[in-house]
Amino acid sequence: MKAAALVLCTACASALHKPPPIESIAAAPRTGADQLLAEADAAWARRAEAGRAAAAEELYLQAARADPRRPESFAGAIRAKAFQLGREKDGGVRLRLAESAVAIGQLCEENAPAAALCDYWLAAALGLQARERSATAKDGLPRMTDLLRRANRSRVFRRRANQADEFFHPFRRWIFQPHFVEIQCHTNASFSVTAVDCWGYSKKEGEEAREGSPECKVLSAERQALNSISGLSTRNSGLVC
């Protein structure tokens, strides 16, 4: 019994921890948030050049420290970390980038709690962390899905996320695709119906799907909206949770 409990403890880990203060992860801003954001965006535009993504991250963090109410500063820092992580070969460095991205996402939530950008990029950071440290997936992926659904309720954010702009598209599918099943199943769990109920996957002969029912229409709309904002296929898959 003790051995089994030990296995369970080592197999799972909390996805969230108390984040450090912004002053401990960002240098003191040398100018105002607007100027720092402009410089960060300029560095990001040259991210393919050596060191520019890291420079953009630092400038975004300075902007966040200069004005913590600006969610785009935290979002830009996480985006820059995601870009660096995607090019990094060292597993330890990738994990540190992912974990620090989660901490920045939490700071974003603390300072701009109603901002859809914070919800979206904390979700992305949790997805990155789950890729690098699978033990955080059990705790992190339901949180990730809930954050995506919350972000999706912002019409302005949803319109922006669905545009083919570079703020989202280079990262969405790469971050969220590995967690496709978990995202779908966690979404299904919040409804009284399932994909099997609605679309008849794996149903026994004689059973009927309820695709036209109000409940199934709501589930279908929710899943398609969530898939769209995360860059996944909007097709209803035949997975069984």
Domain locations along the chain: 21-170, 180-201+208-241
The greatest distance separating any two alpha carbons of the chain, rounded to the nearest whole angstrom, comes to 70
Q: What is the model's pLDDT at position 149?
A: 87
**What's the pLDDT tens digit per position in 166-179?**
566 566 777 888 88
Percent of the chain predicted with pLDDT > 70: 78
Residue 214 CB coordination number (10 Å):
9
Token representation of residue 218: 């709501």
Three-class SS state of 232: coil
Give per-residue burial for 142-164: e unless 16+ CB within 10 Å, then b.
Answer: bbbbebbbbbbebeebbeebeee
CA–CA separation, 219 vs 241, rounded Å? Answer: 14
- As assigned by CATH, the class of the 21-170 domain is mainly alpha
Residue in this structure with the two tokens 């979002």, named with its chain if needed? 75
Token representation of residue 128: 């990155």
pTM: 0.83
Angle at 119 between CA 107 and CA 111, to 5 degrees: 30
pLDDT at 1 over 50: no
Q: What is the model's pLDDT at position 182?
A: 82
**What's the pLDDT tens digit per position in 116-142?**
999 999 999 999 999 999 999 999 999
**What's the pLDDT tens digit per position in 185-221?**
777 777 776 766 776 655 554 456 676 788 888 888 8
